[in-house]
Amino acid sequence: QRRPEKPPFSYIALIVMAIQSSPAKRVTLSEIYQFLQGRFPFFRGAYQGWKNSVRHNLSLNECFVKLPKGLGRPGKGHYWTIDPASEFMFEEGSFRRRPRGFRLKSRQASPVCRRQRKVGHTLSTISPIITTNTSSSIS
Nearest to 54 by CA among 19, 84, 93, 11: 11
Decide if 4 is inside a domain: no
pLDDT value at residue 63: 92
Domain containing 24 equals 11-125
Q: CATH number, domain at 114?
A: 1.10.10.10
pLDDT value at residue 91: 72
Number of domains in the chain: 1
Q: Is the dihedral of CA 51, 56, 61, 67 positive or negative?
A: positive
| Tens digits of pLDDT across the chain (139 residues) | 788 889 999 999 999 999 999 999 999 999 999 999 999 999 998 888 999 999 999 999 999 999 987 666 666 688 999 998 887 777 766 665 555 555 555 444 443 333 333 333 333 333 333 333 344 444 4
The CA distance from 65 to 68, in Å, is 10
Decide if 120 is inside a domain: yes
pLDDT value at residue 76: 67
Decide if 137 is inside a domain: no
Decide if 133 is inside a domain: no
